[in-house]
Structure 1
């Protein structure tokens, strides 16, 4: 196993000022054990999958399930969400920073860490500046360390290194609606970005430090940071070119003796891979059990379990018993669970949802005699980032600065919709917004070049990040008006559109790949298709039939010009059949095609979902 160097940082955490009067504390002050005694109490605050959500997220992105209710006369319970209990919802870095500061009160020995995807797939406020504002915001909330996630590679590993180390891009002062260093400089991260399992191909050199050691009054805690080994299959090929991603378990276990050789017995893994909570048992007012969606604070000891297929489970079970805790992410789910280590000991595994809506508050005891964490002392809970606290002024200043800089781009009205255009899928996985985006890509002239005009567009649903909402009016525009910022929030990756030749047989194999291999059992990988392309999926047999273009059956041996984005064209999301394409030609940005289509087809009304059928 290859090993790489680490950043070793001495960190003596201090208590921070509590937020303004009337702000409820999120963690009760505790009397810490003495730093000179045999034990000391340490607090660990963690979050994951922030994705550049500086401003408070809206809609479903700004709510979580807090409980359940059984309406009078109902036979099924309904979810109670945070926007009902804590209007107008949860999340936003101004509130996250305040909650973290409040949680640190009474805990003089406190560290704050994250499990990746801090940046990438970000709203325009951050994405328009290559996510520099988010790094500044993480510095301001006093983040100590973070693993990298797959989205940290959206713009390539050199750009990730710039995020860590600072510096500016000569991007032509706004090329592709992005602008690096509008104020003239960018300092980079003041926290440790960790990438233990990401190597430059053919070398023993990681692109960032593999681990960091935090020294709190002589108590050494080692943090190993990793992304999921399957990152290359879910990131644009150019973003991971020249890199090798190694197995998570083998990587972390090989680093245990490296840390122990430096006197570090307390070890925590930050990993951008996670799990999905299964259904939870809830007892209604009639004392009957109901199967419900889990709430944000569901713990595996409280009638909730992780789905047994969750990728984090075999990872956690395989990690060396010397590793004391696992902080995870990637799935955007909240959970606090015990997963036994190989020695059969309890080991906490946590995740704090996404977008800054939650953080996990963990307390633990460090034993100076063993120089290790007392495993039975580890207690974790997920805490809502409500918006009934004062905003952190440093974060507000960052948001205000970049809002002013982005305003000319963000506020431009590019079209009009007559109703919401959503990601809500039919039984076959087709969505109104997916239809719109696929049609926009098919209509984009930039992908033609010297080749024939594409006849089919295929879009990955994971690249559609938000709904278009009729009532949204951030910049004072009329209801139904769509601004560039709203369009960018839907498609925030700045992917390039790519046209290519595929045979009918290859296209049919792409359909098969939607629900087989690593995509087995998932509707979330069903490709969105352009008008005129239709097929039927049998849920009973898993077979595809009636695959047609404009009513004519697709012919296996015929060649069809297809447009997609560079993520899928590079085999992303496990669609390997794209790699067999011929005559690959790069066009313009997907966001530009989307914006142009909305302008040309305004006002836009979504049509019927009749492209993907199920029998």
Structure 2
């Protein structure tokens, strides 16, 4: 057996110990702590030094992006010496594998961990096969451990169990003749997700990595608000608990077991003050360069935890945020889609069994636990670009080619034609050209009386996963939109709903974009043609929506009148904090969002007359 085979065999044992069963029979038989393993060769026979450097490589929010993501989704911002910002092409699992393998060289103690959303909302190459290709790729990359993210629940806990434990899809079966899906070699962790009936975690809450007496515990949690951003069916029968309370509970448990070095993998994040991945997050002081949910969570997590690997917001940062004892602690995130990875050095003290945190350093600066002043040392943590000018990992190239062959008959079908890029995920304004296009497609498909009689349509911005890019990829021509590309834009295949809402409820829904749970980070609905209004962002909360400006086809919204409104099933369930949309009545279930989108492209574009990007003139924004 080769070293790689031994490593994967060890990983299989760990994953089996940490694997989840279905919702009905989850983790009753699981041991309290799984055994760890390590990359690197040679054990040596000399007396170990007092401290040993452990390399922690991490990334997050891959979302099944095996091929290099296109458009703005495939670049990272890099601050230059002269202060300008350069967009650098990045990502693709062929390059991610090469980057991680190169980074591990010379590091006998190396761990690779992830911050959740490895799958879900994936491009067609992975999504068409229920993300089996991505799990296979992560096995080959030698991922050691990951937490769940909200998207791991897109297809429910039973499907998540299959991704962990293996087995062919219960409906579609095996995708390759004679091959059975083996599942993940690495453990998924979900400390704060329990079965409503048993109260037990549906996955192992933690695992312990071990090598030559070095022990590092990993606790995995997802954001408590997962039910607000996943369809009801995806989280049915599950309960999501407070992140801080959960981590602190299991940090105590690990400490009692003698595991003093602890890393938390948490699928929640923040917003750095700069979009550049190499921005100095700690200038001028620790915690100043980042905002958002992770800041308060980090301040509440026990000092027993030595570092936090985060995700969810798709941002890039390496920051220090003081723990409850006032000591600086690293909090990292590596953007999304495999465009970056974080390289962190954890100095392990064999005598105390803990990570040395007297001078935690990050993003080009070091912070003393006493004075919070820069120290003359190199950072122990930094984000690195997964560049596309390096050699591709040949095993990943082969993996992509194999799955592309299976997907080709569907993926290459032309759906329509565009005259230029139509930005969605990469749009900088709250009103997105691609969002308008999607909402228009939903309205047109559901406006006929026998299809629902919709007069307006809403699209959630988070459901737009990519841009439509004009430039050709593969064998297609410029401007051709293939099924694979449209699927990448709308990979959830949500069923559309048409419901009755009063005018007052419509106004409330618009106000909920910028108030309540969405006040700090507004979620601006994409609206179909005919609906116009003004957002005054100089005001606070619901007052940002100037109600007197809300009009449908030129007429003011009547609070007492009933309107037929089209939206996907996620919004119709009150997702993303839109309780008003969840109050709809007289529901009619229509075609899927993807089917309506493709039908619209086919009806409104030809090679000779491609579709132009829609204007963004429906929402007037006052800054």
Q: Shorter chain as normaliser: what TM range? A: 0.7 to 0.9
Separation in structure 1 between the aligned mates of residue 149 and residue 507 of structure 2, nearest angstrom:
32
In the TM superposition, residue 146 of structure 1 has moved relative to its aligned partner by 0.2
1:515 paired to 2:514: yes
Separation in structure 1 between the aligned mates of residue 303 and residue 197 of structure 2, nearest angstrom:
30
Separation in structure 2 between the aligned mates of residue 6 and residue 500 of structure 1, nearest angstrom:
48
In the TM superposition, residue 325 of structure 1 has moved relative to its aligned partner by 1.0
In the TM superposition, residue 35 of structure 1 has moved relative to its aligned partner by 6.9
Separation in structure 2 between the aligned mates of residue 492 and residue 272 of structure 1, nearest angstrom:
21
Partner residue of 1:296?
A: 277
1:46 paired to 2:55: no
Whether the aligned pair in 1 keeps the contact of 2:452 and 2:498 (CA below 8 Å) is no
Q: Gaps (5+ residues) in structure 2?
A: 1-26, 361-379
1:243 paired to 2:243: no
Partner residue of 2:615?
A: 608
Whether the aligned pair in 2 keeps the contact of 1:92 and 1:356 (CA below 8 Å) is yes
Partner residue of 2:92?
A: 92
Separation in structure 1 between the aligned mates of residue 312 and residue 436 of structure 2, nearest angstrom:
26
Give matches, 1:244-259, under 5 Å. 244-259=239-254
Partner residue of 2:416?
A: 415
In 2 relative to 1, CA 426–55 (structure 1 residues): closer, same or farther, beyond 3 Å? closer
Separation in structure 2 between the aligned mates of residue 105 and residue 452 of structure 1, nearest angstrom:
60
Q: State the Cα deviation string for residues 72-121 of structure 1 (Å, max 9, x = none).
A: xxxxx641222xxxxxx211111111111111111111110000010111
Give SS of 2:328's match: coil
Give SS of 2:272's match: coil
Whether the aligned pair in 2 keeps the contact of 1:364 and 1:377 (CA below 8 Å) is no
Whether the aligned pair in 1 keeps the contact of 2:73 and 2:425 (CA below 8 Å) is no
Which of 226, 234, 237 is the matching residue for 1:231? Answer: 226
- How many residue pairs were aligned? 566
Partner residue of 1:176?
A: none
In the TM superposition, residue 366 of structure 1 has moved relative to its aligned partner by 1.6
In the TM superposition, residue 341 of structure 1 has moved relative to its aligned partner by 1.2
Give SS of 1:381's match: strand
Whether the aligned pair in 2 keeps the contact of 1:495 and 1:590 (CA below 8 Å) is yes
Which of 67, 78, 85 is the matching residue for 1:79? Answer: 85
Give SS of 1:316's match: helix
Q: State the Cα deviation string for residues 119-142 of structure 1 (Å, max 9, x = none).
A: 111111111111110011100000
In 2 relative to 1, CA 537–301 (structure 1 residues): closer, same or farther, beyond 3 Å? closer
In 2 relative to 1, CA 405–371 (structure 1 residues): closer, same or farther, beyond 3 Å? same
In 2 relative to 1, CA 7–481 (structure 1 residues): closer, same or farther, beyond 3 Å? farther
Give SS of 1:564's match: strand
Give SS of 1:107's match: coil
Partner residue of 1:433?
A: 434
Q: State the Cα deviation string for residues 263-304 of structure 1 (Å, max 9, x = none).
A: 2111110000111111xxxxxxxxxxxxxx452122333458
Give SS of 2:436's match: helix
Q: State the Cα deviation string for residues 191-222 of structure 1 (Å, max 9, x = none).
A: 01000001111432111111011111122211
Whether the aligned pair in 1 keeps the contact of 2:39 and 2:110 (CA below 8 Å) is yes
Separation in structure 1 between the aligned mates of residue 428 and residue 315 of structure 2, nearest angstrom:
23
Separation in structure 2 between the aligned mates of residue 263 and residue 154 of structure 1, nearest angstrom:
36
Which of 189, 198, 211 is the matching residue for 1:194? Answer: 189
In the TM superposition, residue 585 of structure 1 has moved relative to its aligned partner by 2.4
Separation in structure 1 between the aligned mates of residue 46 and residue 100 of structure 2, nearest angstrom:
23
Which of 570, 574, 587 is the matching residue for 1:567? Answer: 570
In 2 relative to 1, CA 552–165 (structure 1 residues): closer, same or farther, beyond 3 Å? same
In the TM superposition, residue 232 of structure 1 has moved relative to its aligned partner by 1.0
Give SS of 1:444's match: helix
Give matches, 1:60-79, under 5 Å. 60-68=72-80, 78-79=84-85
1:260 paired to 2:255: yes
Partner residue of 2:10?
A: none
